[in-house]
Amino acid sequence: MLHKPLFVLAHQTQYPKFHSTYKNVVKNQWKPYDEQKVQQEKQLRHMISFAYENVPYYHRLFKELNLSPEDIRTIEDLEKLPILTKDIIKSNWEDFKPATLSSMKYYEQATGGSTGTPFKYRLLKSDRFLSAALLYRGWGYAGYELGDKMAFLAGSSLGVGTKSVLDKKIHEVTRNIRKLSSFDMGENDMKQYNDILNSFQPKSIRGYVSSIYFYAKWLQENDIKIHNPDYVFTTAEKLLPHMRETIGNAFECDVFDAYGLNDGGLGAYECPEHNGLHIDIERSIMEIVDDNESQIDEGTGDILATSLNNYAMLFIRYQTGDMGHIIEDSCGCGRESKLLKEVVGRQQDMLQTPEGKYVHGAFFNSYLFGNINGVIEFQVIQKSLEKIVIKLVLSEDFDEKQLESMLSIVKSKSQKWDVEFKLVDHIERTKAGKYKFIVSEI
C-alpha cells in the first residue's frame, strides 16, 4: 500500500511536477480527438516560432524555403517542410543548439540504433518526465497503477545492467520493480528468474519481445509453472502473432505491445481491445508518409516525429527509420487517439535483389514464417546482392518438406538469389541485447 506514495516520491524528488503531469495525461486520454488535435497544434505553433527564433538551422531553413512561422499552423502544414535525417543533424550539429540552451535542464542521450553508429541528442528534463508519465499511462491501458510490482527482462536500453549494485537496489525498491538481465539467459539464469518471480510476485512483466519469448518457450518446453502476472508488456522489437501466443500461454495472461522512440518522442500503447497501438499526442506529432512524403491516414509508410516539448533538441519531421501501418478504425475502448496497427520494421531491414528491387523484412515475417510450423527463430542475412543466408532454429514440429516451399517463396522475390538455409542452435543478439531478424551486410 505504501508503494504508490514511494513511487511518486521517487519521481517528485527529481521532478516536482511529475505527479501533476501524470494526472493530466491520464485525463487527456478520454478527450475527443478534435480537442486533442487543437491542443497539439497549439503546442506545434509555439514550438515552430521558438525554432525559428532560437535555432539557427531552422531559421536558415525557413528563410531558404521562403516560409515564416505563421505558415506552419496545423499538422497538415508540416508537409511544407522537408524531412529531417540523422545525417542532416550530424552535419549541422552546432546549428541545432538553441540560443537559450544554457538556461535549460537537459540530458545528453545516445541511441545505439540498429545501424551501429550511435546517435547523440539532447533531452529536456521536463520531456523525460513527460515521457515517463506517458509510459505509465500507456501501461495503465492494461490496468497498471503507479507503484504496481513489475519485473523487467531487458538489456541496456531499459536501464538494466548499467547501474552500480547499490543504485540498482535503491532504484528497485523505490519503484517496486525487479530487473532481470536479458544478456544472461542460460538455464541457470532462468531458474533464478523463476525464483525471483515466484517470491516477488509481480503484477506485470515487461521486456524485449525476444527475451520474454525465449523465456516463455523455455518455461513451456520444460513444463514449468511459475507465478502468473496479470499482464506482460513487450517492447523494442516486433511482436509476431506466434510469439504473442506463446508468451500468453506460458504466463497465462494477456500480452500488451508498445512502440516507443525516445529521440523522436514517440510512444504508442495497446489497449485491451487489441486493435492496434494508441498513438500518444502530448509529446510529439507522429506522421505516416508515403513515398511522396505526403501524410496518409490509412496504410503503410515512413514514421516521422515532430517533438512538441523537447526544446533542447527540436526534431521537426524527423525520419525515425521505422515504418508503420496506420488505420482509421475507431477503437471500442473509447479512446479516440489514432491507431498504429503495427510497426512493420525498420527501413534498414530491407533486402535488395540483383534486379535492383527492395524487399521489406515484413515479407519474411508475415508471409513466410507466419505460415510455417516449427520455426522458433530465424534470421535472414544478405551477404551480397546475390547471396541470402537464412538461419533457422527449429523445433521437432518442423517438417523438412517445408524447406522446398520456403525456398520457392523466397525465390519469388528474385530468381537470381542464391538461398542457403543454415540450421543453428540459437541466433546471436546485438550488443544491446536485441534480436534482429533481418541483417543486411551490403
DSSP character string of 202-215: -SEEEEEHHHHHHH
Stretch that binds Zn ion, among 22-30, 47-55, 267-275, 416-424 (CB under 5 A): 267-275
Q: Is 253 in the site for Zn ion (CB under 5 A)?
A: no
Nearer to Zn ion, 77 or 273 (CB): 273
For residues 250 and 197, the answer to whether their CB atoms sit within 8 Å is: no
Stretch that binds Zn ion, among 256-264, 273-281, 288-296, 317-325 (CB under 5 A): 273-281
Smallest gap from residue 442 Cβ to Zn ion (A)? 41
Considering only residues 273, 353, 383, 389, which one is a binding residue for Zn ion as defined by CB under 5 A?
Answer: 273
Q: How many residues bind Zn ion (CB under 5 A)?
A: 5
Nearer to Zn ion, 271 or 314 (CB): 271
Stretch that binds Zn ion, among 59-67, 268-276, 395-403, 417-425 (CB under 5 A): 268-276
Site for Zn ion in 293-352 (CB under 5 A): 331, 333, 335
Nearer to Zn ion, 61 or 339 (CB): 339
Q: Is 196 in the site for Zn ion (CB under 5 A)?
A: no
Report the candidate in 5, 7, 4 with the shortest Cα–Cα distance to residue 174.
Answer: 7
- For residue 396, count CB atoms less than 10 angstroms from its CB and return exposed for 0-12, middle for 13-18, buried for 19 or more: exposed
Nearer to Zn ion, 214 or 269 (CB): 269
Residue 409: half-sphere exposure toward Cβ, Cα within 13 Å: 16
Euclidean distance between CA atoms 296 and 391, whole angstroms: 36
Smallest gap from residue 213 Cβ to Zn ion (A)? 24
Q: Is 258 in the site for Zn ion (CB under 5 A)?
A: no
Nearer to Zn ion, 230 or 273 (CB): 273
Nearer to Zn ion, 151 or 271 (CB): 271
The grid cell for 173 is 525498491
Q: Is 101 in the site for Zn ion (CB under 5 A)?
A: no
DSSP character string of 54-77: H-HHHHHHHHHTT--GGG--STGG
Residue 221, number of CB atoms within 10 A of its CB: 11
Smallest gap from residue 276 Cβ to Zn ion (A)? 8
Helices 241-251, 209-221: crossing angle, 10 deg rounding: 50
**Beta strand extents in 298-407 (DSSP E only):** 299-307, 318-327, 339-346, 350-352, 358-360, 375-382, 387-394
Nearer to Zn ion, 84 or 340 (CB): 340
Smallest gap from residue 141 Cβ to Zn ion (A)? 7
Stretch that binds Zn ion, among 143-151, 264-272, 291-299, 431-439 (CB under 5 A): 264-272
Considering only residues 123, 133, 151, 271, which one is a binding residue for Zn ion as defined by CB under 5 A?
Answer: 271
Smallest gap from residue 278 Cβ to Zn ion (A)? 6
Report the candidate in 113, 120, 126 with the shortest Cα–Cα distance to residue 15.
Answer: 126
Helix H or strand E encompassing 221: helix 209-221
The residues of the shown chain that bind Zn ion, judged by CB under 5 A, are 271, 273, 331, 333, 335
